[in-house]
Amino acid sequence: MLVRGLRVLGHAIRTEPRLFTISVLGSSLFGLLIIANSYVVGSIIGDVVVPAFAAGSITTGELALIVAVLLGISGLRVASIFGRRLGAGFMQFRLQARYRSAVTRRYLALPPAWHQRHATGTLLSNASSDVEAAFGVIAPLPFAVGTIVMIFAAVLSLFVTDWVLALVGVTLFPALFALNFAYSRRMSPRQIQAQRMRAKVSAVAHESFDGALVVKTMGREADESRRFGVFVTELRDSLISVGRLRGIFDPLMDSLPSVGTLAVLLLGTWRLQTGAISVAELVSVAFLFTVLAFPVRAIGWVVGELPRSVAGWERVQAVLSADGDLAYGDGTLAGDGPAELRFERVDFRYADGPPVLRDVTFTVPAGRTVALVGATGSGKSTIASLAVRLVDPEAGHVAIDGVKLPDLSGAALAGATALVPQVPFVFDDSVRGNIALDRPEIGDDSVWKALRLAQADKFVGGLPEKLDTEVGERGTSLSGGQRQRLTLARALAGKPRLLVLDDATSAVDPRVEAAILGALRHAGTSILVVAYRRATIALADEVVYLHQGRVVATGTHTELMATQPGYLNLVTAYEKADR
Ligand SMILES: Nc1ncnc2c1ncn2[C@@H]1O[C@H](COP(=O)(O)OP(=O)(O)OP(=O)(O)O)[C@@H](O)[C@H]1O
């Protein structure tokens, strides 16, 4: 744990060397000033106050000097605390910001398959509480380093003062370190468990909020509360066990320096009587032991925080080092206008699962509309994902205008293709924000044009603030069909050369759906559409009929109706269901 912890600290220091140096200099100065202050106080008592009591008077000059020296030391201490705190604070929060961004960037780069294996709540916890935990140790770190400098200086000054009193120091400091290490060994598993439970609670809470509708309509509130309660109780128990251990160790660590002061007073009185030390020296050393207690705690904080920091760091690293993201080439597509999509002998499976697509070959010619038709689970959505390269095939290839998708740059791919998924996602933003998505080339004219193509201009025109209307979180103020049309308009606004519609108009009525497809035929894009309604299928130039991951036949709707009994059955069943 210590080695892993030191590695995290080393990394943090290498990342922010300047801030670390500033805060350690501040902290070391603070430690040295504590020692200087003890000796100054000792000297004031022994050399000024005690003789003043004996003489019954003190000069104004002596008083002014005492005040000036004490004020000077205090001023320097204030400056050193500023340096330490500001340096450590900046370092901690800069590292947190940097890693929050890095984790979020990584999430965006990782493929859908990775996201499917990780709960959203856990991802939130990685980016928030794990990053916080990883660098929580930075706050006390410079203080602890400065304290070590102070302890060396203190032991040195003790030996210069009196070797007997120095022995108290050299016994006390290792005892404090030993106590700190024992503390950290016992604390480590508890902290890791607490951090794990935080992530678990966050994941369960997220799922509960997401499934609120199901929970409510199925009357599962009590069960859901119980399920959540189990994890909350486990988190509470692990935090209590952290607190209990702290409750035992904290008083011990606080009282050790007091025991040291007591020992110094006992031994010091004897040394004073034998004339080995002066009153000033005794007061200095006793004072030093009383003020040592607080800074020495900083080492305890670092050692105590280290396990949490390691746990957080390793969870953050697991995200940062996760692989499986798609490497992009630097190719671009020549020309503009509708593009041709080609699937060539494509095989695909999810992770280690069974084959989902086998030997899939078909073409969407430039400017044409091709419908994908097949029973549920036959692989239509998977083909849609492959067409815009959310995933790569296991064998074979997918190409646009003859360029294989992995050869294209990310920007070229995103610029040429657009997928409108089965479940529409709407941001908590205005209609304009949702459609333009901060793409600078998309002005209001383009937004309205896209809305017209998606048959959404009328309902947006009727909204109280038109394009400025806020649609609420996930578009809660819109109907399902309106949300679908907004998502379609968002895809169209980028003038894609290939549009992939994965059952993207299921919530709009068949007449509107037919109007949308009719309008899209003249929108200057090739279209691959996963279709269920006979009227929609009939609008396509060509149909690819899938069965259990294989292309059974391609042709026009009329041809397939005449030659493929399975297709005839499927489409007739769709039609009956639609009536
Ligand atoms: N993320 C995934 N991990 C593992 N298997 C998956 C995943 N997504 C889909 N599958 C499996 O792949 C097969 C094809 O799924 P796909 O969603 O492509 O079918 P579909 O034809 O679009 O179905 P539907 O019409 O019901 O939307 C199914 O057997 C499904 O169980």
Higher pLDDT, 291 or 133: 133
Per the DSSP assignment, residues forming a β-bridge with 349 are 355
Per the DSSP assignment, residues forming a β-bridge with 579 are none
User: Do residues 343 and 361 make contact, with C-beta atoms less than 8 angstroms apart?
Assistant: yes
Instruction: Measure the CA–CA gap between 553 and 360, rounded to whole angstroms.
Output: 11
Residue 483 CB–ligand 1 contact under 6 Å: no
Per the DSSP assignment, residues forming a β-bridge with 347 are 395
Q: What is the pLDDT of residue 365?
A: 94
Do the domains 2-320 and 364-578 sit in the same CATH topology, yes or no? no
Ligand 1 centroid–CA 378 distance in Å is 7
What is the separation, in whole angstroms, between the first and last Cα of the chain?
66
Atom 12 of ligand 1, nearest CA residue = 356
Most trustworthy range by pLDDT among 89-98, 136-145, 255-264, 415-424: 89-98
Scanning 211-278, the segments in alpha helix (DSSP H) are 212-217, 221-273
Q: What is the pLDDT of residue 200?
A: 86
Give the residue-averaged pLDDT of 286-290: 81
**In the structure, what pLDDT confidence band is assigned to residue 210 with cuts at 50, 70 and 90?**
confident
| Residue 392: Cβ within 10 Å count | 16
Give the residue-averaged pLDDT of 101-111: 89
| Residue 405: Cβ within 10 Å count | 24
Task: Note the pLDDT tens digit of each residue in 408-419.
Answer: 988 899 889 999
**In the structure, what pLDDT confidence band is assigned to residue 240 with cuts at 50, 70 and 90?**
very high
Sort 116 into a burial class: Cβ within 10 Å, 0-12 / 13-18 / 19+. Answer: exposed
CA distances to 57, 292, 300, 501, 551 from 253, rounded to whole Å, are 42, 11, 8, 66, 73
Instruction: Measure the CA–CA gap between 160 and 242, rounded to whole angstroms.
Output: 41
CATH 2.60.40.1930 is the classification of domain 364-578? no
| Residue 389: Cβ within 10 Å count | 22
Q: Which of 33, 29, 13 is nearest to 21 (CA)?
A: 13
Q: Residue 254 is encoded by which pair of tokens?
A: 């606080």
Atom 30 of ligand 1, nearest CA residue = 377
Q: Please check the confidence at residue 579 and state whether its pLDDT lies above 70.
A: no
Question: Domain spans of the chain?
Answer: 2-320, 364-578
Instruction: Measure the CA–CA gap between 49 and 65, rounded to whole angstroms.
Output: 13
Residue 385 CB–ligand 1 contact under 6 Å: no
Q: Please check the confidence at residue 577 and state whether its pLDDT lies above 70.
A: no
CA distances to 71, 550, 566, 568 from 563, rounded to whole Å, are 100, 17, 9, 8
The backbone torsions φ and ψ at residue 469, rounded to the nearest 5 degrees and listed phi first, read: -65, 130
**In the structure, what pLDDT confidence band is assigned to residue 401 with cuts at 50, 70 and 90?**
very high
**Which residue type sits at 375?**
A
The backbone torsions φ and ψ at residue 529, rounded to the nearest 5 degrees and listed phi first, read: -125, 125
To the nearest whole number, what is the mean pLDDT of the chain? Answer: 87
Residue 377 CB–ligand 1 contact under 6 Å: yes
Q: Please check the confidence at residue 23 and state whether its pLDDT lies above 90.
A: yes
Atom 26 of ligand 1, nearest CA residue = 376
Residue 378 CB–ligand 1 contact under 6 Å: yes
Q: Please check the confidence at residue 209 and state whether its pLDDT lies above 90.
A: no
Q: Which of 129, 117, 126, 119 is nearest to 319 (CA)?
A: 126
Q: What is the pLDDT of residue 475?
A: 65
Q: Which atom of ligand 1 is nearest to the CA of 116?
A: 1
Give the residue-averaged pLDDT of 267-293: 85
Ligand 1 centroid–CA 349 distance in Å is 10
Q: Residue 437 is encoded by which pair of tokens?
A: 């998505």
Sequence-distant (6+) residues with CB within 8 A of 565 are none
Residue 506 CB–ligand 1 contact under 6 Å: no
Residue 60 CB–ligand 1 contact under 6 Å: no
Task: Note the pLDDT tens digit of each residue in 385-399.
Answer: 999 998 899 999 999
Instruction: Measure the CA–CA gap between 457 and 512, rounded to whole angstroms.
Output: 12
Beta strands in 313-429 (DSSP E): 341-349, 355-364, 369-374, 395-400, 403-404, 417-420
Give the residue-averaged pLDDT of 122-132: 86
Give the residue-averaged pLDDT of 377-392: 91
Residue 374 CB–ligand 1 contact under 6 Å: yes
* 3-state SS, residue 497: coil
Q: Which fold has domain 2-320?
A: ABC transporter transmembrane region fold (1.20.1560)
Residue 352 CB–ligand 1 contact under 6 Å: no
Provide DSSP, 20-35.
HHHHHHHHHHHHHHHH
Atom 2 of ligand 1, nearest CA residue = 350
Task: Note the pLDDT tens digit of each residue in 331-363.
Answer: 888 878 899 999 999 999 987 889 999 999 999
Task: Note the pLDDT tens digit of each residue in 446-467.
Answer: 889 999 888 888 888 888 888 8
Q: What is the pLDDT of residue 523?
A: 79
Give the residue-averaged pLDDT of 501-521: 79
Q: Residue 553 is encoded by which pair of tokens?
A: 């036949």
User: Do residues 149 and 28 make contact, with C-beta atoms less than 8 angstroms apart?
Assistant: yes
Instruction: Measure the CA–CA gap between 132 and 93, rounded to whole angstroms.
Output: 9
Per-residue b/e over 342-370, b at no fewer than 16 CB within 10 Å? bbbebebeeeeeeebbbebebbbebbbbb
Higher pLDDT, 550 or 455: 550
Residue 201 CB–ligand 1 contact under 6 Å: no
* 3-state SS, residue 276: coil
Ligand 1 centroid–CA 115 distance in Å is 16
**In the structure, what pLDDT confidence band is assigned to residue 400 with cuts at 50, 70 and 90?**
very high
Residue 350 CB–ligand 1 contact under 6 Å: yes
Q: What is the pLDDT of residue 469?
A: 84
**In the structure, what pLDDT confidence band is assigned to residue 195 with cuts at 50, 70 and 90?**
confident
| Residue 32: Cβ within 10 Å count | 18
Task: Note the pLDDT tens digit of each residue in 513-538.
Answer: 777 888 888 878 899 999 888 878 88
Q: What is the pLDDT of residue 261?
A: 85
Q: Please check the confidence at residue 219 and state whether its pLDDT lies above 90.
A: no
**In the structure, what pLDDT confidence band is assigned to residue 293 with cuts at 50, 70 and 90?**
low
Q: What is the pLDDT of residue 155?
A: 86
User: Do residues 412 and 332 make contact, with C-beta atoms less than 8 angstroms apart?
Assistant: yes
User: Do residues 471 and 486 make contact, with C-beta atoms less than 8 angstroms apart?
Assistant: yes
| Residue 49: Cβ within 10 Å count | 18
Q: What is the pLDDT of residue 578?
A: 59
